Structure 1
Amino acid sequence: MQRNFGLKTITLSLVVASALLHASTQNVQSIQYDGMVHISEAVAKRLNEVKIGAPLDSADVDKTIKNFFDQGYFEDIWVEENEGKVTFHFKEKPIISKIELKGYKDNDEEAKKTLLQIEKGSLFDEKRLEAAKKRIIDALSQDGKIDSVVEIQSEKLDNGSMQVTFVVNEGEEIIIKKVHYAGVQAVDSDDFDSMIANKEHEFMGWMWGRNDGKMKLAELQYDPLRIRDFYMQRGYLDAKIDEPFVQVDFDHYEAEMSYNIFEGDVYRVSDILVFQDTKVIDDQALLDVITLEKNKPFNIKTFRDDADRIKTKIADLGYAYVQVQPDLKKDKDNKSVDVVYRIIPGKKVHIRNVVISGNNRTLDRVVRRELFLAPGDLYSVTNLKDSRNAIGRTGYFESNTIEEKRIDDETMDLIVQAKEAPTGNIQLGGGYGSFGGILLSVAVSDRNIFGSGINVGLNLERSQRTSNYSFNISNPRLNDSDFSGNFSIYKSATEYDSYTVDSTGLSFGTGHRFSRYVSGYVGYNYSKNNYSDVDTNSTNYDPRYYENYSKSSVSVSATFDNTDDYYVPREGMVASQSFELAGLGGDADFWKSRTSFAAYQGLQKLTDFDLILRYKARFNYASKNGYLPLGEKFYMGGIGSVRGYQAYSISPTDGYNSSGTPYRIGGTQSFSNNLEFSVPLVPEARMRATAFIDYGMIGESSMSEIKRGGYGIALEWFSPVGPLQLVFANPIGDEKDDDIAHFEFTIGQRF
């Protein structure tokens, strides 16, 4: 008997008919499989309806061949029978050895994987190819491209494998020239732009912050809901927005859109009620977290946020599976609404186990000590969020998640999944610094040596104007406690325009974490500082500025940090205050105050992409009790203060040196702040672009003596040698003696 199922038809020849007649009188003696690779014989036996010892039946053969075809591995299957010996012959589909995407996201490997979902080594399957083609066209439609064409080109290579190429001819984008809103009276329709995706084209729409008018087809169905949400945030509970009518001119690929809107009346909140199925907390405690107010217009966004706040309040008591069911009871006659929250707390949930995964290098205990939930603890959603943020603040991990695995109504496991970040490196290299010129460096550092959380660094750096040699070691959690400790020694020399200063010193200290956000530090510093190569021909030369001195000082500081990541925070703030007192031995006798503040806010919910807003500010003040050396005063310029100027170049001056360069003597008080907008540039490479504007003031007797600003862009990249920042800046308000720096870079700093 022979049967060919690959042609999707059933053909019986005289030979086949004869074989079947013969088979009907003879039982199956053996079954063999020829040409089968992707299915094991054990699996094949489970799929085979033909049984040894039973008569060969054509219906069993037919069903068996269908079972094999359903696996998707075979191009053709046929069966032969000879005196009870049954052989299944298979012709498997060829392997795809090369797959390409041309004409659309050619160099985007991540997009290629998402769209095609076909890897090298996959079987050549026309259904999978057609599915990939559909995904490409759908993606183009979401980008607003219509009339797109995707061709699948396949070629059989000499080795029998297949080369597949998806050739994409992107269609045209539809530009929305006009959007009409009928029925809008109580609000300004221009405000809809903050909510909807399909917006009217604006003049110079290609500029950042302007509407380019490109139609987003996938978002059309959601825009009416967004407009209705806009109304409901203002109390219009009866608002109705029809689906938009879109009229397209396919000759020019332009469109006009029209919305019919019924606004209705504004509803005010008449009462706010909470009902607990099982009372687990005083009702007033829940009412206290609600921000909706009686007799004020209803706001759907505040309504949702209040529901989340209630849920958090209950979940922090251990009720992990609490349900909050919000409801509205409208009074159309009085245009009022009762707000009702029904709460089903469920049972208290305890943590059964905490599993750490993904930490191939970092020790488990280093992760566990950052967690605010442990086995046996009651569940708390706030503690869960704070644990994620605390792990992120260590800087040891690129990302982390904590999965809540439900065991039963009263227990759950927490699965911490962390993706390690590179924390250690050995650098042999050079470069060009904006201040020191040509730079050669050797550095060995690791913020998480041997996965212990201990930071060790050895740095040997030499440039045309600077040399720095240092060793430091610090442990943020001594013996996994809330205490920290650090020690460092250093030797440096810096050649300025009018003098050179050599410094040798050491510092050590200890800190303590008082709460999950607040920590303190006490430290000691000793240094010897010697001046040489002093330009005595400077105008207003004063030898007091160049006295060699030693400094013995103690410092205390307090820091608040509730950010969610060490290098790229998207929420939270960092505030610190430190005081340094010098004069406990040594020549220097002064005190300093340093205040810093930074706030981070991710705007993805508002902008639909990973935009981060950053604000940073610093205020410094120094007062001499006896002797305040020149090198202990404050200077601005460069990364960390006002970009667009060379580091340490913004300062009060006192005359000029022999080459005509201003003699900078530093200030006793300074203030600088920065506003930054950071967006992803190449997400796959963890590269971001940041636009910034800086402004600062510095002076000797008043901060307003010198004022400077700067603006520009920066590239932030997690490079193989660590976080790298390239800054391209221009000054604002610069004057003739200012030292301008259009380019700077740093490695290893927090963005």
Structure 2
Amino acid sequence: MSFRRKFSLARRIMPLVFTALLVPGLANAFDPFVVQDIRVEGVQRVDPGTIFTYLPVKVGEQFTQEQAAEAIQRLYATGFFSDVTIDTQNDVLVVQVKERPTIASVTFNGMRAFDTEVLNSALAGVGFGPGRVFDKALLEQAEFQLKQQYLSEGKYGVEITPIITPLPRNRVGISFDIFEGDVATISRINFVGNKVFSSSDLRDEMELTTSGLMTWYTGTDKYSREKLEGDLETIRSFYLDRGYLEFSMEPPQVTISPDRESIYITITINEGEPYKVRSVKLAGDLLGLDAQMQEMVQVKEGETFSAANANATVEAITDYLGGLGYAFANVNPNPVLDRENKEADLTFYVDPGRRVYVRRIQIGGNTRTRDVVVRREMLQEEAAWYDANSIKESRDRIDRLGYFNELNVETAPVPGSPDQVDINVDVKEKPTGLINLGVGYGSTEKVILSFGISQDNIFGSGNSLSLDVNTSKINRTLVVAHTDPYWTKDGISKTTSLYYRRTRPYDTRYRNQGDYRVTAYGGGLNFGVPISKYDRVFAGFTYEHNKLELYDPPQAYTDFVNEYGESTNALIFNVGWSKDTRDSAIAPRRGSFTRLAADFSTGDLRYYMLKAQQQYYLPLGRNFTLALNASADWGHTYGDKTFPIIKNLYAGGLGSVRGYEGASLGPRDPRTGNYLGGSRRFVGNVQLYLPFPGASRDRTLRWFIFADAGQVSTTGSSPCYTGIGGNVQDPCGWRYSAGVGFSWESPMGPLEISWGKALNSKPGDDLQAFQFQIGTGF
């Protein structure tokens, strides 16, 4: 045999040798053959047809050693099998497999920080969960994912031990024993390199804080990478807003103590020096609107550069162009630095793009709410020029409906039409029906029970229907109301209401409860007309029937019955105007609220009542808010009768003049000493809201200092009674108080606590320094 022939034989044999060594799944080496049949052995759950799809050969085709190796590789790659063997028996291909076990269940022992669904969802993201094929590599990924969940909550001492329990039918149960450990809290935040601004000033800009009195509630002392990145951007903006254009910051150093309970953050910064603005220019395609855009520039020459003013200029010009139909306008500020003189030349480059109009407005995601309910809030019209201002206001109007959890308004270009866009309004509906039972306690009305059922979007029409029941020591109220916010296409609202109210004396210290009872029931129809974005006028009428039941009553109520009778009927007309620019109805920081109203009654009760209220909210710095409130109510009769006592006004306690007993200001009955109220009331409040220590960013948790003033008196010829034997001195005079308080929109309901000091109390005044009110639902 020649050398060439020997080499050729070796070249044919060596691949088979290597294949046999590298692929142990081949039971025996074999020569190529034509497959007469294929048999699969060892499968339990996997369908044999699945295995056939991974084989590189079919019956009737030739099968080689290389194809056998490829088949083994393919079957292993599926992850279904822990062992694969290929054998041949009389031209029959035999595939023997050993299936991996499947996961029957996943449980967590010792877990308190998360719900089981949260962790199962996290594990599903890495392909681990019940019904999945068990794989040890995947188990390691699952363990890592669980640790990441705990690290995100600041639990750096967490220990996770997986336990694998074999089960019948080739299954396993996975149990994770979890030792959560304590939350690692931020013990120190250090700044290095800051010279102009103190570390405490910079820490005040951050959301993350060190542990404090209220961080158990706010959680701001728990480290989070995302929150830290947000804080770093806030600090960067803080410097850029003050002209430090060369400000830079190194990546923060985050270290943890050996016991994994304390975290230390070090932030190294280079402040640089502040720059002044030497010149401000507009460039680009200004569309001949140079003068109009120039008025929107908020950066002034000679002033210190402010990134906030530059961004406000960009937003103003962009919104202005958007209002003209330029949906994709782009404005870029470009400062050129003169480092020697510390000055900057700022140029705003304007690219308006193409003017477009709206082809179609599309509503999506609403399964119950009718399209018209959303569409009627849209100020942007189809087939009209694009108007960014109208679209923004439309979004706010839809959001104020309160029917949706999520709201997204997007502008989408129309393919093939460079001058057209579609407006897509996608919503996610939330339940708008509510049934609630409640219990509360007030220092004046004592235990307050309530029940309510309401539907704010009944049948998807945008109308609301409600039933409310409240009962306390003093008042019992039942109200049924229906509101149609679009009674007309112009947005005029209509509210129809029926009510029942029963009132007992506010003060019972001089006699047993039940000296008299006033029962009123009636119905009303009111209309509201929006006249601007913030203004609304309203008008309506109410029919009311009143009945008095007297049991050893106060003298004033006996006089009323003698003058008007035990039963009265009245038709009350009302008209008014309100304006609301507050940034929040729950915890406002800026804006104002104005309301003027008048009631005019005819029938048995002939009187009129004028009402006015003004509120201002002024932000003082970042975390302080000064609130001012003034209200005046003035009632009078027309005719020869006195003002009906059942329409009197009250003051004192929470909501008016704190430090005095609730409803105690004003005249007292000369026989029983009851609080009678009056036909004229003035109340003024000054309140400074301060951040709660450790919760400066939580607007629902605040403490405050206050000063109150108020007066309740009579009008016309009605006397100002001074109580039993004149024991109350000057009951109709002004009363003043001051104090401190605490307010919290807690998960249990609104809570307000105040401690007030009466500053000019008179003999006979009823004082109450500590006052509170809380409500809850169950």
State the TM-score, normalizing by the size of structure 2. Answer: 0.75
Does the CA contact (< 8 Å) of 1:326 and 1:341 recur in 2? yes
Q: Secondary structure of 2:335's match?
A: strand
Q: 1:376 and 2:383 equivalent?
A: yes
Hey, what's the Cα distance between the residues in 2 that align with 1:582 and 1:360? 45
Q: 1:10 and 2:23 equivalent?
A: yes
Q: 1:552 and 2:571 equivalent?
A: yes
| 1:285 counterpart (292, 301, 311) | 292
Structure 1 pair 584–747 and aligned structure 2 pair: CA distance change class (3 A): farther
Residue-by-residue CA offset, 1:125-160 (whole Å, 9 max, x unaligned): 444443344345445555666565443333344572
Residue-by-residue CA offset, 1:316-350 (whole Å, 9 max, x unaligned): 33333333222111112332111122233322344
Cα deviation for residue 476 of structure 1 reads: 0.7
- For residues 396-407 of structure 1, what are the structure 2 equivalents within 5 Å? 396-407=403-414
| 2:370 counterpart (363, 367, 375) | 363
Question: What is aligned with 1:721?
Answer: none
Question: What is aligned with 1:684?
Answer: none
Q: Secondary structure of 2:572's match?
A: strand
Question: What is aligned with 1:634?
Answer: 649
Does the CA contact (< 8 Å) of 2:579 and 2:595 recur in 1? no
Q: 1:712 and 2:729 equivalent?
A: no
| 1:236 counterpart (238, 241, 244) | 244
Question: What is aligned with 1:319?
Answer: 326
Q: Aligned AA for 1:327? A: N
Report which structure shows greater RCO (CA 8 Å, sep ≥6): 2
Question: What is aligned with 2:500?
Answer: 491
Q: 1:543 and 2:554 equivalent?
A: no
Q: Aligned AA for 1:668? A: R
| 2:428 counterpart (396, 419, 428) | 419
Hey, what's the Cα distance between the residues in 2 that align with 1:102 and 1:616? 51
- For residues 646-725 of structure 1, what are the structure 2 equivalents within 5 Å? 649-654=663-668, 658=672, 662-665=675-678, 667-672=680-685, 690-691=701-702, 693=704, 696-700=708-712, 704-707=734-737, 711-717=741-747, 725=749
Question: What is aligned with 1:591?
Answer: 609
| 1:620 counterpart (603, 616, 632) | 632
Does the CA contact (< 8 Å) of 1:393 and 1:564 recur in 2? no
Q: Aligned AA for 2:484? A: N
Q: Secondary structure of 1:289's match?
A: coil
| 1:737 counterpart (746, 760, 766) | 766
Q: Aligned AA for 1:632? A: K
Q: Secondary structure of 1:700's match?
A: strand
Question: What is aligned with 2:7?
Answer: none
Hey, what's the Cα distance between the residues in 2 that align with 1:669 and 1:227? 46
Q: Which range moves more in the overlay, 667-676 or 227-236? A: 667-676
Structure 1 pair 547–577 and aligned structure 2 pair: CA distance change class (3 A): farther
Cα deviation for residue 91 of structure 1 reads: 1.8
Structure 1 pair 141–309 and aligned structure 2 pair: CA distance change class (3 A): farther
Q: Secondary structure of 1:450's match?
A: helix
Structure 1 pair 651–126 and aligned structure 2 pair: CA distance change class (3 A): farther
Structure 1 pair 57–105 and aligned structure 2 pair: CA distance change class (3 A): farther
Structure 1 pair 48–577 and aligned structure 2 pair: CA distance change class (3 A): farther
Cα deviation for residue 597 of structure 1 reads: 4.5
Cα deviation for residue 486 of structure 1 reads: 2.1
Cα deviation for residue 638 of structure 1 reads: 7.3
Q: 1:452 and 2:461 equivalent?
A: yes
Hey, what's the Cα distance between the residues in 2 that align with 1:134 and 1:632? 69
Hey, what's the Cα distance between the residues in 2 that align with 1:368 and 1:40? 56
Residue-by-residue CA offset, 1:387-413 (whole Å, 9 max, x unaligned): 232122112223322244444444444
Cα deviation for residue 707 of structure 1 reads: 3.8
Q: Aligned AA for 2:200? A: D
Q: Which range moves more in the overlay, 100-109 or 359-368? A: 100-109
Q: Aligned AA for 1:164? A: S
Does the CA contact (< 8 Å) of 2:541 and 2:572 recur in 1? yes
Q: 1:727 and 2:751 equivalent?
A: yes
Does the CA contact (< 8 Å) of 1:551 and 1:586 recur in 2? yes
Question: What is aligned with 2:201?
Answer: 191
Q: 1:165 and 2:186 equivalent?
A: no
Question: What is aligned with 1:105?
Answer: 113
Q: Aligned AA for 1:293? A: K
Hey, what's the Cα distance between the residues in 1 that align with 2:563 and 2:456? 37
Q: Secondary structure of 1:387's match?
A: helix
Structure 1 pair 553–636 and aligned structure 2 pair: CA distance change class (3 A): same
Structure 1 pair 392–166 and aligned structure 2 pair: CA distance change class (3 A): farther
Q: Aligned AA for 2:192? A: Y
| 2:538 counterpart (521, 540, 555) | 521
Residue-by-residue CA offset, 1:336-381 (whole Å, 9 max, x unaligned): 1111222333223443443333333222211221223344344333
Does the CA contact (< 8 Å) of 1:617 and 1:673 recur in 2? yes
Give the paired residue count: 707
Larger Rg: 2
Residue-by-residue CA offset, 1:682-727 (whole Å, 9 max, x unaligned): xxxxx9964454764321369942546673344455xxxxxx7343
Does the CA contact (< 8 Å) of 1:699 and 1:706 recur in 2? no
Hey, what's the Cα distance between the residues in 2 that align with 1:50 and 1:645? 95
Cα deviation for residue 507 of structure 1 reads: 1.5
Residue-by-residue CA offset, 1:495-545 (whole Å, 9 max, x unaligned): 12464222132221322223444332211223233333265466x888359
Hey, what's the Cα distance between the residues in 1 that align with 2:377 and 2:46? 47
Does the CA contact (< 8 Å) of 1:403 and 1:414 recur in 2? yes
Question: What is aligned with 2:315?
Answer: 308
Hey, what's the Cα distance between the residues in 1 that align with 2:562 and 2:179? 70
Does the CA contact (< 8 Å) of 1:406 and 1:412 recur in 2? yes
Q: Aligned AA for 1:700? A: V
Q: Aligned AA for 1:652? A: G
Does the CA contact (< 8 Å) of 1:469 and 1:492 recur in 2? yes
Structure 1 pair 559–134 and aligned structure 2 pair: CA distance change class (3 A): farther
Cα deviation for residue 36 of structure 1 reads: 7.8
Structure 1 pair 367–73 and aligned structure 2 pair: CA distance change class (3 A): farther
- For residues 595-610 of structure 1, what are the structure 2 equivalents within 5 Å? 595=613, 597=615
Question: What is aligned with 1:508?
Answer: 525
User: What percentage of residue pairs aligned between the two structures are identical?
Assistant: 20
Hey, what's the Cα distance between the residues in 1 that align with 2:311 and 2:397? 27
Cα deviation for residue 631 of structure 1 reads: 3.7
Structure 1 pair 213–586 and aligned structure 2 pair: CA distance change class (3 A): closer
- For residues 568-587 of structure 1, what are the structure 2 equivalents within 5 Å? 575-587=593-605
Does the CA contact (< 8 Å) of 1:482 and 1:514 recur in 2? no
Q: Which range moves more in the overlay, 222-231 or 508-517? A: 222-231
Cα deviation for residue 69 of structure 1 reads: 4.7
Does the CA contact (< 8 Å) of 2:651 and 2:664 recur in 1? yes
Hey, what's the Cα distance between the residues in 2 that align with 1:336 and 1:307? 21
Does the CA contact (< 8 Å) of 1:509 and 1:523 recur in 2? yes
Cα deviation for residue 440 of structure 1 reads: 7.2
Question: What is aligned with 1:531?
Answer: 548
Residue-by-residue CA offset, 1:274-329 (whole Å, 9 max, x unaligned): 223x4446123223222111111112232233223332222233333333222111
